[in-house]
Amino acid sequence: MPEEVRDRVIRCIAETQHLDPETVTIDSTFEELGIDSLDGINILFALETEFEIDIPDDAAQNIRTVREMVEGVERLLAEKVNSGAQEQS
Partner 1 sequence: MEPRRVVITGLGAISAIGKNVAELTDALRRGACGIRPIELVDRTKLRFSSGAEVPGYDPADYFDPKEAGLLDRFAQFAVIAAREALRQAGLEPGSPLFRRAGIVTGSCVGGQTTEDEGFVDLYLRGRPRINPLIIPKTMANAGASRISLEYGIKGPVYTISTACSSSNHAIGQAFWAVRSGMIDLAIAGGSEAMFSMGILKAWEAMRVVSLDTCRPFSKDRSGLILGEGGAMMILETLESARSRGAAPLAEVVGFGMSSDAHHLTQPSVEGPALAMQSALDDAGLAPEAIGYINAHGTGTVTNDPTETAAIRSVFGGHAAKIPVSSTKSMHGHTLGAAGALEGVASLAAAREGFLPPTANFTEPDPACDLDVVPNASRPGNPEFVMSNSFAFGGLNAVVVYRLLA
Residues that bind partner 1 (CB under 8 A): 36-38, 41, 44-45, 54, 56-57, 60
**Between 22 and 54, CB nearer to partner 1:** 54
Minimum gap (Å) between residue 72 Cβ and partner 1: 14
**Between 6 and 39, CB nearer to partner 1:** 39
Instruction: Give the Cα separation of 22 and 88 in Å (integer).
Output: 41
Listed residue (10, 62, 17, 19) closest to 42, CA to CA:
17
Query: Which residues sit opposite 29 in a β-bridge?
Result: 65
Instruction: Give the Cα separation of 76 and 72 in Å (integer).
Output: 6
Helices assigned H by DSSP within 18-65: 30-33, 37-51, 57-61
Minimum gap (Å) between residue 42 Cβ and partner 1: 9
Minimum gap (Å) between residue 59 Cβ and partner 1: 11
